[in-house]
């Protein structure tokens, strides 16, 4: 008799989701799905609000990466106030926002690697769940745990200095920014005693990557082959092909590295991307129209970004990028290498923070610009988890009439479902008993994408994930929630 | 000019005779909270948050003039509890979503919520369906946030001395609208004054949102009333 496994909730991700795995009479996995069970609402209730409120309102989608929503929304509103697309701001306006964004990337990547992913790597995905968490890390490796906390703190302090608050600030306003960086604030990051300064953060980011590479040497087979499947990859890149997490053009490559989206202006994203709705999830399934629903799905995030970018415009990260590329080839479809890519980006973020802090434009008082008013604007940014789209239409009374968001995790919806299916088949086919370790392996695959399920459904409220085992008649045989 | 002596919470005070009690107390470094009151415009006594006990009898301190020998109780538990309830009622009656309100940090209602450590109102939220009046080129009236204090009607006038705001509807549907005739061609300065006059985020000057960074807003570092109290 077949059965259905339910993993609910999925843990150590941001948001509330569950996994169901259907197993047939022969004990083979027939179908598996990642369901997102939160309800959406932001796109609707932002309607009628004045446009300048959007960057502050919509960032409440998330408590982990509010800066990404704040900035993507602000970039869209920049277009509406005639301040141009990404490059029309004053130097202080753009660089303050970039500093805020790299602070966000640095803290979010640090949070994900140390707090969410590292327990699986340090202890093994089938180790005791009571230890397989950040507290377990603190007990096993105090130094690493302290580093994790201080790296995240540094990023959060950068956000506070640029946005006014560590979470849900108000820094980015239509056409620019509402404050510059004082000399005292700058020096608090550049001249603070070790380890709380920008130079030390670069070193620590390198140390985190070295830790991962050490793990990789000992666990090459697992990192290379766990949840390994081909896909398309999409991200913003700078016009010259450099990795740029704040602004650029949209590029996508296929599983072999051929360009399938050729550096297009994201204001026209609807010409290239569509979202499919499926009855069993509140999260939509985006795809590239030119390739159709079946073949047009893509990955976003660190793995995708290092596949689309030609180079990284900061020296230490570039050196690591070259090594990574030499070992992994032109296009990397290996799911667990996302952690590797994420840590290279963490170094890049630290380098960018350090360089921006040394830029005197940040002390300028020329903060805001504007131009001819437009009725519609699109803002796209590379959030820690991947490409994030915000689109707004505004009426003549300055009220938002329409809003569309495609959140990073939504872009990764199909890849995460593929990953769940891949791991479920690899781990559970023909097995009589489903162990906690097997279920966590499914979560490990999801976790590699660092999903934020609340963002993805634009939910307002709580976040928690759950796995269900169903027989061929639809009867629930087993259900596990954490 | 005659001066009078009066007592607030046991403290002997002195002020000009006939002065508004709220102002007289302020001169003596005593803060009596207000919402509908605004210095320089006629008092209304509509919000009741400035209620004090004068010789044991309740009266609004914004509409009462100070007289010789007045014995006033203000910062007493009974009244502080009452004031907290007034704040809670106002929050529950409208749609006050501070996280996305650009008046946050400069909002007197929010500041009083903090002063009285309001956590969750004891009164059920009404979540009324209200509109955002956005037709005016320089001003936006968000009826969700309006507490009907009428400060704008009393305090904001055009060059002809006519008020920019007017009542609309009646009873529990009462609104304060922007008057299309009197508000025509207002200056940017007057639009800003209207926003500043509003104790909450119901009157918003268009296109300037969130220009003041967090940390530099009125109540970011100084709780409401702390500039008055010793």
pLDDT tens-digit readout, A323-345: 999 988 889 999 999 999 999 99
Residues B115 and B59 in one domain: no
Tokens 């300064």 belong to residue = A197
Q: What is the rounded average pLDDT of the residues B78-94?
A: 96
Of B99, B134, B213, nearest to A398 by CB-CB distance is B134
CB-CB neighbors (< 8 A) of A60 in chain B: 99-100
DSSP secondary structure string for all residues of A414-448 = HHHHHHHHHHHHHHHTT-SS--HHHHHHHHHHHHT
Report d(CA B213, CA B201) in Å as an integer: 16
Q: Is A10 exposed, middle or buried (0-12, 13-18, 19+ CB in 10 A)?
A: buried
Identify whether B229 is part of a domain: no
Of A60, A171, A179, nearest to B99 by CB-CB distance is A60
pLDDT of residue A452: 65
Identify whether B159 is part of a domain: yes
| Interface test mutation site (partner A, options B130, B134, B141, B220, max chain A beta carbons within 10 A) | B134
Instruction: Find the CATH number of the domain harbouring B154.
Output: 3.30.70.20
Backbone angles phi, psi at A19, to 5 degrees: -120, 135
Identify whether B217 is part of a domain: no
Residues B26 and B105 in one domain: no
Report d(CA A475, CA A468) in Å as an integer: 10
Residues B96 and B71 in one domain: no
Report d(CA B72, CA B183) in Å as an integer: 41
Q: Which two tokens stand for residue A267?
A: 């204001």
Q: Which of A15-24, A41-50, A344-353 has the lowest mean pLDDT?
A: A15-24
Highest average pLDDT, of A30-44, A168-182, B113-127, comes from: A168-182
Residues B39 and B106 in one domain: no
Q: What is the rounded average pLDDT of the residues B131-160?
A: 96
Residue A277 near residue A457 (C-beta atoms within 8 A): no
Last residue within a domain, chosen from B75, B109, B136: B75
Identify whether B230 is part of a domain: no
pLDDT of residue A306: 98
Cis before residue A324, ω within 30 degrees of 0?
Answer: no
Residues B36 and B139 in one domain: no
CB-CB neighbors (< 8 A) of B132 in chain A: 48-50, 399
pLDDT of A190 over the 80 cut = yes
CB-CB neighbors (< 8 A) of A401 in chain B: none
B213, A81: Cβ pair inside 8 Å? no
DSSP secondary structure string for all residues of A98-166 = HHHHHHHHHHHHHIIIIIIIHHHHHH-TTS-TTTSSHHHHHHH-HHHHHHHHHHHHHHHHHHHHHHSSS
Report d(CA A365, CA A368) in Å as an integer: 9
Q: Which domain holds residue B42?
A: 3-75
Q: What is the rounded average pLDDT of the residues A270-291?
A: 91
Identify whether B35 is part of a domain: yes
Residue A58 near residue A74 (C-beta atoms within 8 A): no
Residues B123 and B196 in one domain: yes
List the one residue out of A239, A186, A158, A205 whose CA is nearest residue A316. A205
Which residues of A lie closer than 8 Å to B, measured between beta carbons?
A: 48-50, 52-53, 55-57, 60, 81, 163-165, 168-171, 173-174, 178-179, 397-399
Residues B196 and B105 in one domain: yes
The minimum CA-CA distance between A396 and chain B, rounded to whole Å, is 8
pLDDT of residue B162: 96
The beta strand positions in B134-226, using DSSP E, are 139-142, 165-168, 175-178, 203-205
The minimum CA-CA distance between B191 and chain A, rounded to whole Å, is 16
Identify whether B211 is part of a domain: no
Which residues of B lie closer than 8 Å to A, measured between beta carbons?
A: 99-100, 102, 132, 134-135, 140, 204, 206-215
pLDDT of A423 over the 90 cut = no
Name the domain count of chain B. Answer: 2
In which band, very low, low, confident or very high, does the pLDDT at A15 lie, cut at 50, 70 and 90? low
Identify whether B43 is part of a domain: yes
Which residues, in sequence order, are CB contacts of B123 under 8 Å at separation 6+? B85, B88, B89, B92
The beta strand positions in A223-336, using DSSP E, are 232-237, 249-253, 259-264, 273-276, 285-288, 298-299
With a threshold of 0.90, tell me whether the complex ipTM lies above it. yes
Residues B96 and B155 in one domain: yes
CB-CB neighbors (< 8 A) of B100 in chain A: 49, 53, 56-57, 60
List the one residue out of B57, B68, B61 whose CA is nearest residue B15. B68
The minimum CA-CA distance between A52 and chain B, rounded to whole Å, is 6
Measured at the CA of A73, the angle between CA A78 and CA A189, to 5 degrees, comes to 90
List the one residue out of A28, A171, A24, A7 whose CA is nearest residue A96. A171
Q: Is A413 exposed, middle or buried (0-12, 13-18, 19+ CB in 10 A)?
A: buried
Instruction: Find the CATH number of the domain harbouring B25.
Output: 3.10.20.740
Tokens 């909730």 belong to residue = A9
Residues B49 and B115 in one domain: no
pLDDT of residue A460: 37
Residues B102 and B189 in one domain: yes
List the one residue out of A43, A37, A41, A46 whose CA is nearest residue A15. A37
Residues B89 and B186 in one domain: yes
Identify whether B142 is part of a domain: yes
Residues B111 and B22 in one domain: no
List, for residues A96-115, the tens digit of each pLDDT value: 999 999 999 999 999 889 88
The minimum CA-CA distance between B117 and chain A, rounded to whole Å, is 21
């Amino acid at each position: 008799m077949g059965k259905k496994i339910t993993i609910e909730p999925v843990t150590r991700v941001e948001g509330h989701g569950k996994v169901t795995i259907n197993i047939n009479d022969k004990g083979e996995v027939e179908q598996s799905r990642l369901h997102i069970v939160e309800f959406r609402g932001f796109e609707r209730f932002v309607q009628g609000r004045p446009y300048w409120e959007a960057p502050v309102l919509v960032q409440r989608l998330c408590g982990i990466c509010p800066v990404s929503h704040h900035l993507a929304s602000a970039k869209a509103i920049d277009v509406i106030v005639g301040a141009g697309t990404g490059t029309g701001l004053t130097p202080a306006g753009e660089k303050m926002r970039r500093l805020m964004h790299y602070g966000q990337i640095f803290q979010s990547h640090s949070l994900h690697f140390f707090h969410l992913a590292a327990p699986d790597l340090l202890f093994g995905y089938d180790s005791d769940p009571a230890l397989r968490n950040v507290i377990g890390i603190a007990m096993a490796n105090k130094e690493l745990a302290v580093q994790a906390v201080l790296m995240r703190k540094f990023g959060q302090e950068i956000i506070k200095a640029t946005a006014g608050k560590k979470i849900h600030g108000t820094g980015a306003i239509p056409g620019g920014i509402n404050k510059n960086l004082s000399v005292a604030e700058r020096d608090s990051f550049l001249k603070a005693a070790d380890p709380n300064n920008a130079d030390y953060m670069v070193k620590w980011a390198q140390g985190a990557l070295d830790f991962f590479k050490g793990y990789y040497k000992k666990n090459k087979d697992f990192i290379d082959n766990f949840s390994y499947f081909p896909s398309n990859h999409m991200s913003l890149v700078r016009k010259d092909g450099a990795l740029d997490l704040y602004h650029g053009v949209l590029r996508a490559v296929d599983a072999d590295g051929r360009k399938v989206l050729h550096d297009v202006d994201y204001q026209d994203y609807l010409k290239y991307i569509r979202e499919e709705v499926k009855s069993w999830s509140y999260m939509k399934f985006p795809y590239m129209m030119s390739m159709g629903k079946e073949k047009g799905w893509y990955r976003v995030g660190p793995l995708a970004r290092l596949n689309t970018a030609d180079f990284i415009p900061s020296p230490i990260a570039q050196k690591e990028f070259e090594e990574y590329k030499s070992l992994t080839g032109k296009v990397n479809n290996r799911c667990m290498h996302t952690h590797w890519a994420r840590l290279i980006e963490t170094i890049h973020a630290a380098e960018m923070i350090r360089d921006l802090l040394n830029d005197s434009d940040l002390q300028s008082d020329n903060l805001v610009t504007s131009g001819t008013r437009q009725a519609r604007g699109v803002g796209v940014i590379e959030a820690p988890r991947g490409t994030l789209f915000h689109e707004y239409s505004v009426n003549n009374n300055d009220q938002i009439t329409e809003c569309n968001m495609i959140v990073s995790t939504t872009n990764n919806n199909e890849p995460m479902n593929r990953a769940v299916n891949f791991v479920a088949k690899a781990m559970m086919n023909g097995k009589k008993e489903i162990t906690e370790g097997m279920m966590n392996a499914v979560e490990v695959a999801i976790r590699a994408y660092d999903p934020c399920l609340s963002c993805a459904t634009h939910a307002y409220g709580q976040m928690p994930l759950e796995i269900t085992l169903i027989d061929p008649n639809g009867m629930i045989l087993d259900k596990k929630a954490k | 000019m005659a001066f009078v002596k009066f007592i607030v919470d046991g403290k002997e005070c002195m002020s000009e005779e006939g002065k508004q009690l709220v102002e007289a107390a302020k001169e003596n470094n005593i803060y009596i909270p207000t919402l509908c009151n605004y210095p320089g415009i006629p008092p209304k006594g509509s919000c009741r948050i400035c209620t004090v006990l004068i010789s044991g009898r309740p009266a609004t301190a914004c509409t009462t003039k100070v007289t010789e020998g007045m014995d006033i109780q203000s910062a007493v538990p009974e009244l502080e509890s009452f004031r907290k309830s007034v704040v809670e009622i106002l929050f529950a009656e409208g749609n006050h979503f501070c996280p996305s309100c650009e008046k946050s940090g400069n909002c007197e209602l929010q500041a009083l919520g903090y002063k009285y450590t309001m956590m969750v109102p004891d009164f059920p939220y009404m979540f009324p369906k209200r509109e955002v009046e956005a037709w005016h080129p320089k001003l936006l009236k968000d009826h969700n946030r309006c507490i009907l204090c009428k400060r704008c009607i009393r305090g904001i006038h055009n060059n002809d001395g006519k008020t920019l705001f007017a009542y609309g509807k009646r009873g529990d549907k009462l609104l304060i609208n922007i008057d299309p005739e009197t508000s025509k061609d207002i200056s940017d300065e007057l639009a800003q004054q209207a926003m500043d006059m509003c104790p909450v985020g119901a009157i918003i000057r268009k296109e300037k949102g969130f220009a003041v960074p967090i940390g530099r807003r009125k109540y970011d570092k100084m709780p409401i009333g702390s500039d008055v109290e010793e």
